[in-house]
Amino acid sequence: MKFETNIFINCPFDKDYFPLLKPLLYVIKRIGFNPRISLERSDSGEVRLHKIQELIESSKYSIHDLSRSKAKKVGEYFRQNMPFELGLDLGCKNYKKGNKNKKILILEEEKYSVQKALSDLSFADCKCHEGKSIELIYAIRDWFAENGIKDVPSGSALWDDYNTFYADLYVEKLKIGFKPKDIDRITMTEFMRFIDENLK
Amino acid sequence: MSKKQSSSPKRTHVVKRESGWAVKKEGAKRATKVYQTKEEAVKGAQKDRDSGSDVVIHKKDGSIQKWEKSKKK
């Protein structure tokens, strides 16, 4: 996999986030890039931190969604994995030789929430998705376009493509005996494989 | 990477837009119409269903809420 087209994705991997993760993966592949997530291979013998480091070092681009870092109820811990991995990535960009041209996008749900919680990042350009799949797609396509990627389709074209893709997924999975409720629960590995097949 | 053209029968999608819900024939460049509410959009899509398209009603995250088969055999 090529460094120039790899994109490290730092986000939660729980089912509450899947409505954002799925269009994120689709749009990245649709634009011709390769998302790298820690779920792409499952090896319990592999130390998670080493896997994260390998993904960061092998990716020119990275997307860090800090929108779900905040605790939702009293007594719940602040989720530190996402800010920690962003720190690793910034370290890799700034201290590892030859990595100055790495491009980093930070996503947030509410405007300026990242700067409130992480004032060291007050310089950073964050994009806001408001927790909506459609807004996330617009944010990602704008980021690609701002970074000089040519011929990026419009946000609405990508959103429509994603909806059509999901209909294709639905049809194909029903054909092999899935129930509708099972289709939304397929693993991210299967989901990414289907994107590849659909875009061939 | 380019988008593969779907080989499936005709489909009309009811999809979320920033400002409401759109009815859009698959492959068309523009939506047929954007409605304020999803209920109105689903109703508006029935014309396509009568004339031979499946109507695919999406949730706001793009996944499938309901698939209505074409009324035309």
> Using CA atoms, how far apart are residues A143 and A175, in angstroms rounded to an integer?
37
Minimum-distance CB partner of A133 among B2, B26, B61: B61
Residue B26 at interface with chain A, using a CB cutoff of 8 Å: yes
* Mutation choice for A interface testing from B2, B3, B23, B30 by most A CBs within 10 A: B3
User: Residue range A174-197: average pLDDT?
Assistant: 94
Q: Nearest residue of B to residue A161 by CA position?
A: B3
* Mutation choice for A interface testing from B19, B24, B55, B64 by most A CBs within 10 A: B64
* Mutation choice for A interface testing from B38, B63, B69, B70 by most A CBs within 10 A: B63
Residue A22 at interface with chain B, using a CB cutoff of 8 Å: yes
Choices 3.40.50.300, 1.20.120.640, 3.40.50.10140, 3.90.226.10: CATH for A3-199 = 3.40.50.10140
Band (pLDDT 50/70/90 cuts) for residue A2 is very high
pLDDT tens for A55-80 read: 999 999 999 999 987 777 888 777 78
Whether residue A124 contacts residue A95, with contact meaning beta carbons closer than 8 Å, is answered with: no
pLDDT tens for B18-45 read: 999 999 999 999 999 999 999 999 999 9
Residue B5 at interface with chain A, using a CB cutoff of 8 Å: no
In chain A, the largest separation of any two C-alpha atoms, in whole Å, equals 51
- Of all residues in chain B, what percent are helix, strand and coil, respectively (each to 5)? 15, 35, 50
- What integer pLDDT is reported at residue A113 of this predicted model? 80
Give domain limits for chain A. 3-199
Residue with tokens 């996402």: A82
Mean pLDDT of chain B: 91
Å between A151 CA and nearest CA of chain B: 11
DSSP state of A154: P
Instruction: List the alpha helices (DSSP H) in chain A.
Output: 18-30, 48-57, 81-95, 113-117, 133-146, 155-175, 180-183, 188-199
Total-model pTM: 0.91
Closest Cα to residue A145, out of A134, A133, A132, A158?
A158
Return the sign of the alpha-carbon dihedral for residues A51, A47, A22, A130: negative
Q: Which amino acid is at A84?
A: F
- What integer pLDDT is reported at residue A42 of this predicted model? 65
Q: Give SS3 for B31.
A: coil
Closest Cα to residue B14, out of B49, B1, B6?
B49
The answer for A 63-122 residues in CB contact with B (under 8 A) is none
pLDDT tens for A8-21 read: 999 998 889 999 99
Q: How far is CA A194 from CA A29, A89, A184, A190, in A?
A: 11, 29, 13, 6
Closest Cα to residue B63, out of A91, A170, A71, A36?
A170
Lowest mean pLDDT among A1-15, A67-81, A123-137, B8-22: A67-81
- Answer yes or no: do A164 and B61 touch at CB < 8 A: no
Tokens describing residue B27: 């492959």
Instruction: Calculate ∠ Cα A74-A76-A78, nearest 5°.
Output: 115
Whether residue A29 contacts residue A196, with contact meaning beta carbons closer than 8 Å, is answered with: yes
